[in-house]
Amino acid sequence: MIVMNEILELLGPAGAALMILSCFALYFALRNGIYLYLVGRDFKCSFHDLETRGEEYLQCLCRSNANPLVGIITAIVHTHAKHSNDIRAEVAYMFHRNFASVTQGLAYLRLISILAPLLGLLGTMFGMVDVFSELSRTRAAADPAVLARGIGEALMTTILGLCVAIPTLVAYYHLNLKVRGFKIEAVEHSYRALELCGGSCPGYETSAPAEATDPRGTARMAS
């Protein structure tokens, strides 16, 4: 407890806010990274032998929706067969629905990477104001060693802000590239699935509605 109080006294309110932001950044980076890794691993295990599995692949595609990428391809095959002609637009829409939590987590990572250096600079400005305010209260000549120590302590929040922002920004771009790679794979596998199933998914086939018969028309034809 004493150590925490010393750290808070050294860093100030801005430093404490940066410590909280670093915890949130670590949480979002780990959560999204582990989730995307598991999704990609399961997707590759499901479709690693696409060319040879044939009908088994189609059945897995149309019946399995546990993996969000599988669900996207299933929906693409269904909607493309029914009404849509733009697969890339459908993939973008389905990604927005199936990966909403990942998109939100990436937005938070981006926001933290922007806020962290600004908070660090704000903490430095507060520290500099405190240093010069303390010097203005003392009528004796300013000790250069004391002044240097105060400025060094004020710059600690800037260093902390950069230490939070840089890895957060790296994690954001790494995960963003992985999501873009998933979109490309979804488009490629959607085209391949449409080729294999001929534009319709077995799991979504529905019987056509029977045509209504007109008794009067039947009677006329009989006559």
Read off the pLDDT of residues 125-172 as tens digits, 9 standing for 90 and up: 888 887 777 777 776 666 677 677 777 777 888 999 999 999 999 999
Residue 15 lies in a domain: no
Report residue 178's pLDDT band, with 50, 70 and 90 as the boundaries.
very high
Residue 143 lies in a domain: yes
Angle, in degrees to the nearest 10, between helices 100-137 and 87-98: 60
**In which region does residue 70 sit, left (phi positive, over 0), alpha (psi from -120 to 50) or beta (all else)?**
alpha
80 Cβ contact partners less than 8 Å away, ≥ 6 residues apart: 87, 90, 190, 194, 199
- Contact between residue 201 and residue 77 where contact means Cβ atoms under 8 Å apart: yes
Residue 217 lies in a domain: no
Query: pLDDT, tens digit, for every residue of 53-97?
Result: 655 555 655 565 567 887 787 777 776 655 556 777 778 888 888
Residue 171 lies in a domain: yes
**Distance in angstroms (rounded) separating the CA atoms of residues 10 and 156:** 8
Residue 209 lies in a domain: no
- Contact between residue 122 and residue 7 where contact means Cβ atoms under 8 Å apart: no
* Secondary structure (3-state) at 208: coil
Beta-strand ranges (E) seen in 136-211 are none
Residue 10, pLDDT above cutoff 50: yes
Q: Rounded to two decimals, what is the model's pTM?
A: 0.73
Residue 34 lies in a domain: yes
For residue 24, which phi and psi values (nearest 5 degrees)?
-65, -40
Residue 196 lies in a domain: yes
User: Tokens 């909280």 map to which residue?
Assistant: 20
**Distance in angstroms (rounded) separating the CA atoms of residues 94 and 106:** 17
- Determine the pLDDT at residue 141: 63
Residue 125 CB coordination number (10 Å): 14
Our count of domains for the chain comes to 1
Residue 222 lies in a domain: no
Name the residue among 163, 154, 157 with its Cα closest to residue 17. 157
Domain extent, residue 102, equals 22-45+54-204
Query: How far is residue 166 CA from its own chain's centroid?
Result: 18
Residue 102 CB coordination number (10 Å): 23
